[in-house]
Structure 1
Amino acid sequence: MPIFRRFIRPTYLYLCYLASRVEDSRLGITTTDESVARALGRTTSDFRLINRATGYLSMRRILRRLKAGSEDVLLDYGCGAGRVICVAARHGVRRAIGVDIDPAFCAIAERNVASLKGVAVRPEVIEADAGQLAVPDETTIVFMYNPFGSNTLRQALTNIQESVARRPRRVRLAYGNPVHADLVGSFSGFREIDRLWMSWRPGEAWLRTQTFIIYAVDPP
């Protein structure tokens, strides 16, 4: 599809960049793929092969669908530059926690948390291996956009299970670009309750990048 690759996709990405710049400015943060890639000394194209910020409209749509409110605590696995936790804090969740194993990402996220406008309680950034980090027992929402491989994911899901067992409650898991959806579905207590498509993309792999599966995680 040469027309899509040469004209439609570049135009779409540029418009997304402009929209994200406007939202970044409004919140007082810097999270566009272009800006973060530059800060890390990487090209935008190389950066996007592995990392990609969730769009502002997509994030707000997910928070509305989850009915996130002032009693919720959101945990973001693979928080990158911290856009998700900043948006969640502005949305009004009680606590927003970002986890990333990369110290360079954590440093950028910390700067964004410090400069974030319009919040009473600032998000938190934890530099850690998600597979080795105990899930805070007040967590009610877990967000992740395909942040790691199956081994780390398996341990992270186990950590969620253990937290729910320690303190019985329902946790909602929003899983974007669900490469390992079969693995998540195989875990006891994880039940798909919703599925969202942020936009249409040609091809199964591309469409998956725009898909979020919402799971309810209930105590045993």
Structure 2
Amino acid sequence: MINAFLRHLRTDGLRGTLAALIDFSQHLWRRWADASFDRRYGTDTQGITDDMTELGVFTEHRLNAFGYEGIQIPVFQKMLRELKLDPSEYAFVDFGSGKGRALMMAAEYGFARTYGVEFSPVLHEIAQKNIAIFGQRNPRACPIELRLQDAMEFSIPDENLVCFFYNPFDDKVMRQVVGNIADSYARHPRKLAVAYRNPLCAELFDNLGFLQLVSSTHRYHIYKSR
């Protein structure tokens, strides 16, 4: 550590070295915070991979997906707060639910029920184990329903809904999913919100007349029905 600090001083100066130290400290804190959920419940929600073969995905849209990374716990908690709604009045859907971290945190937060949509059989199996452990240790949490399914084929529930995305797929798949949400809302107008982390396809939601952008940062966008 001392040698690395001295190298930074020589190459980046004091200001650059201090900035690097702050970034590294924040990185370590985020890793510790992200591991806190698994420490508490004995679950397995960590890891990062973009290898669709490793994830057991060989379907048509494997090239349209962006792999797995669990949502960062501090970021997700802030997004939930910025929704500014009573979670008991809403169901929660995670499109690209991975190992189930967001689902379990949403269940903790008090949503009426949660749905996870995941097309990787490997991640789906891990999520099933995680949900079982979580349910045993948190019996008061809401029901969590897992679907091993292409997100394009998921039938949007006709209830007040929070749709969560952690940049799970590209615009080809997202366009169809957004269309499914819009069609569902047209058939059954209701309270609907979207929480979109790393919003690369934000324009698809921006163009929906029934949604308005209520919170926007470089990390996420929050939309709610008008």
TM category (shorter chain) comes to 0.7 to 0.9
CA contact (8 A) 1:132 1:155 kept: no
Gaps of 5+ in 2: 1-11, 56-65
Aligned with 1:178: secondary structure?
Answer: coil
Superposed CA offset, 1:135-159 (max 9, x none)? 1112410000111111111111111
Which residue of the partner structure matches residue 8 of structure 2? none
CA contact (8 A) 2:178 2:204 kept: no
CA contact (8 A) 2:118 2:124 kept: yes
Largest Rg, 1 or 2: 2
Which residue of the partner structure matches residue 190 of structure 1? 211
Which residue of the partner structure matches residue 149 of structure 1? 170
Which residue of the partner structure matches residue 64 of structure 1? 81
Superposed CA offset, 1:57-76 (max 9, x none)? 22222222212421210000
Give the percent of matched residue pairs that are identical in Structure 1 and Structure 2. 28
Which residue of the partner structure matches residue 132 of structure 1? 153
How many residue pairs get matched? 196
Which residue of the partner structure matches residue 30 of structure 2? 16
- 1:109 counterpart = 2:127: yes
Q: TM-score, normalised on structure 2?
A: 0.76
RMSD over equivalenced CA pairs, Å:
2.7
Superposed CA offset, 1:142-183 (max 9, x none)? 000111111111111111112212221020001110111122
1:212 and 1:3 map into 2 onto residues whose CA distance is 29
Change over 3 Å in CA distance of 1:189–1:13 after alignment to 2: same
1:4 and 1:151 map into 2 onto residues whose CA distance is 42
Which residue of the partner structure matches residue 200 of structure 1? none
Shift of 1:118: 1.5
- 1:170 counterpart = 2:191: yes
Which residue of the partner structure matches residue 52 of structure 1? 69
Gaps of 5+ in 1: 43-48, 198-207
Which residue of the partner structure matches residue 59 of structure 2? none
CA contact (8 A) 2:82 2:222 kept: no
Q: Which amino acid aligns with 1:217?
A: S
Which residue of the partner structure matches residue 118 of structure 1? 138
- 1:88 counterpart = 2:106: yes
Change over 3 Å in CA distance of 1:139–1:130 after alignment to 2: farther
Change over 3 Å in CA distance of 1:9–1:190 after alignment to 2: same
CA contact (8 A) 2:33 2:74 kept: no
1:152 and 1:137 map into 2 onto residues whose CA distance is 21
Shift of 1:16: 2.1
CA contact (8 A) 1:185 1:191 kept: yes
